[in-house]
Amino acid sequence: MDASFDTAHDLVAINTIRTLAIDAIQRANSGHPGTPMGMAPVVYTLWQRHLRFDPEDPIWPNRDRFVLSSGHASMLLWSMLHLSRVKAVNPAYEVLGEPAVTLRDIETFRQLGSKCPGHPEYRWTSGVEATTGPLGTGVATSVGMAIAGTWLAERYNREGFPIFDFDVYALAGDGCMMEGIASEAASLAAHQRLSNLTWIYDSNRVTIEGHTDIAFTEDVAARFVGYGWNVVTVADANDTDAIDRALADARAEGERPTFVVVHSHIGYGSPAREDTPAAHGEPLGPDEVKATKRAYGWPEDAQFLVPDGVYERFAAGVGARGKAAREAWMTMFASYREAHPELADELMRIQRRELPDGWDGEIPEFPADPKGIASRDSSAQVLNAIARHVPWLLGGAADLAPSTKTRLTFDGAGDFQADDRTGRNLHFGIREHASAAISNGMSLTKVRPYWSGFLIFSDFARGAIRLSALMEIPVIHIFTHDSIGVGEDGPTHQPVEHLMSLRAMPGIAVIRPGDANEVAEAWRFIMRSEHEPVALILSRQALPTLDRSRYAPAAGLLRGAYVLADAGDGDPDVILIGTGSEVGLVVDAYERLVSNGVHARVVSMPSWELFDRQPREYRDTVLPPSVLPRVAVEQATTLGWERYVGSAGAVVGMHTFGASAPLKELQTKFGFTPDRVVEIAQEQMKAQMR
């Protein structure tokens, strides 16, 4: 079939997208029909006329990306994936013959097991580029994809081999534009001159509570001009020629990201619901479904109808363009492999999240040192040692690199900027939420990202950290200044509840290493992690480097918790558990108890998550169930420690905010001294004997 635009045929295809959404939402009796109805022509035009995406291979590395930042409008994406017959891909990156989204999935929209959940979920449905729903986060994620695209192009493209030149598109609504994270990301995207990035703004001027006049009256287009974007306006979302021109303009733009403002009507075509907030998040209702179908010239009783020729139309549009582009790329890649075998090998590894041979060859071993080294500093050494061997490990800080020590300092590491795309040090600016979302986007594009900030500000990034866990992508979130150990900066900068709140999040490993060698082991775990993000929690202050000939090897970190020291055979009299900066303190207390003849044990517990994954047998050897006297020491909220110390055990932790004072004084004030820990251990032993 001819792929050229033909208003009648295109309108049937567009109305198929709309009516599938209407029917699925009516059947589910929940969902958001308004935006699929309003924006169907825009997304259709993008896919049919511009997107270089092959439904036969939705993970082809140089595909254009489409991110539905208005995640509530998921039916728009499900209709597109179904109608263009995108193929499913399994976790081994194999393309399966079956469709990613069947008509049956659409009929069971929002039901358990359907490939069409309420919001787009990466890894659950093939063709979804990013999990979206938390507004603003999808557009920020798209910036990470665009950054990764330019970095990959610079590193891997060679004369005659444009291996990477993909574009990134995101669709956003009023809600995304109101969220702060979108502003953070838009500002950085313009600074970085990401001309491979286009955001399409669905300006329907309606949100849940009503018309945007109630809360959002700024000039959004002017804002984006201010950031430095190329701003284009489409006056009518149904004008497919105007949309086509705007997207062509975006592709021709070589210096700036493009912002396409599309004036649209939420619930377009529904006689009673168009332009109303009710169209946003309610099914139309049986009568209005019929009235709307009549308005579209659609058979009013037909449900889940895909008229003859519609699949073929998608196949002739996005299907044919995508196939041609991918096949040309495959042919090019075969010659590239001959001409540049090492680069091609790297690329294949990146795609499979594999590491280069010898990546860990330079990880240092730290000699015992009672004065020690801050874990942020040992981490800096380890990170640099690894990054020298893993070219696609890149990242930065939210303007805190001199404090978080995450800068790559070796020759050639460079700074990533518009005029140097090879740089591996990113400057995220003071934008924590966007830093995490951008890192997610980079990870979805398969480079290995890290970003860093103070642990206290992890709250600012939490929404995007959570999405990295939900998507099961190996983003490295690095947080330093991990406790009251920060000292003089005081309670605004001293995290208390943050560690526990990160541990409360499923799907992310929180690691708080106790000394430099545990830091090295933490990085070994991090780098091997293919499908799980990590929060690495580091200290500002020096931590003694333990003598590992005297205490157990740091490799115990990989099991989450391990017996660091034990004063004798058999069950101990008391178990002291410490994490991070408190391991040294607990070891001091242990030595005192031992010199008093107590059979004490020290357990270093850098990661609850890794420990909980161990077989019960191992866990019971570390924390024998029969040994009740237990003390956990951590400069943070105590909530949750009962699971390891039991209801009778003791926890030395924080019950209030911290204070501004030198660290030593804070340690005394809040009870983090060897004397206090010894005292509590003795109370524990007494109490359990009674």
List residues with catalytic annotation: 432
Alpha helices, DSSP H, located in 194-285: 220-227, 240-252, 278-281
> Which of ligand TPP, Mg ion, none sits in contact with 72, Cβ below 5 to 8 A by type?
ligand TPP
Q: What is d(CA 179, CA 325) in angstroms, rounded to the nearest whole number?
A: 36
Please give the residue ranges that form the binding site for ligand TPP (CB under 6 A).
34-35, 70, 72-73, 133-135, 173-176, 179, 204, 206-208, 266, 280
- DSSP letter for 319, please: I
CB contact set of 92 (below 8 Å; sequence gap of 6+): none
Q: Does 264 bind Mg ion (CB under 5 A)?
A: no
Segment near Mg ion (CB under 5 A); pick from 165-173, 407-415, 506-514, 665-673: 165-173
Which H/E stretch holds residue 262? strand 258-263
Q: Pick the closer one to ligand TPP by CB: 34 or 533.
A: 34
Least distance from ligand TPP to the Cβ atom of residue 383, Å: 32
CB contact set of 479 (below 8 Å; sequence gap of 6+): 452, 453, 454, 455, 458, 498, 535, 536, 537, 538
> Which of Mg ion, ligand TPP, none sits in contact with 253, Cβ below 5 to 8 A by type?
none
Q: What is d(CA 303, CA 299) in angstroms, rounded to the nearest whole number?
A: 9
Q: Pick the closer one to ligand TPP by CB: 122 or 672.
A: 122
Q: Does 179 bind Mg ion (CB under 5 A)?
A: no
Segment near Mg ion (CB under 5 A); pick from 168-176, 238-246, 332-340, 360-368: 168-176
What's the 3-state SS for 280-308?
HHCCCCHHHHHHHHHHHCCCCCCCCCCCC
CA of 449: how far to CAs of 192, 217, 462, 518, 527, in Å? 17, 36, 17, 21, 11
**Is 356:346 a contact under the CB 8 Å cutoff?**
yes
Q: Does 173 bind Mg ion (CB under 5 A)?
A: yes
Q: Does 150 bind Mg ion (CB under 5 A)?
A: no
Give me 386's structure tokens: 């690894």
> Which of Mg ion, ligand TPP, none sits in contact with 280, Cβ below 5 to 8 A by type?
ligand TPP
Q: Pick the closer one to ligand TPP by CB: 134 or 580.
A: 134
Q: Does 73 bind Mg ion (CB under 5 A)?
A: no
> Which of Mg ion, ligand TPP, none sits in contact with 184, Cβ below 5 to 8 A by type?
none
Least distance from Mg ion to the Cβ atom of residue 133, Å: 15
Q: What is d(CA 511, CA 613) in angstroms, rounded to the nearest whole number?
A: 14
Vertex 442 angle, CA 186 and 149, to 5°:
80
| Residue with the CB atom nearest Mg ion in the bound state | 174
Q: Pick the closer one to Mg ion by CB: 134 or 544.
A: 134
Q: Does 71 bind Mg ion (CB under 5 A)?
A: no
Least distance from ligand TPP to the Cβ atom of residue 34, Å: 5
> Which of Mg ion, ligand TPP, none sits in contact with 99, Cβ below 5 to 8 A by type?
none
Least distance from ligand TPP to the Cβ atom of residue 458, Å: 17
Least distance from Mg ion to the Cβ atom of residue 398, Å: 29
Give me 60's structure tokens: 């082809």
Among residues 172, 206, 400, 527, the one that binds Mg ion under rule CB under 5 A: 206
**Is 396:556 a contact under the CB 8 Å cutoff?**
no
Give me 182's structure tokens: 């979108």
> Which of ligand TPP, Mg ion, none sits in contact with 62, Cβ below 5 to 8 A by type?
none
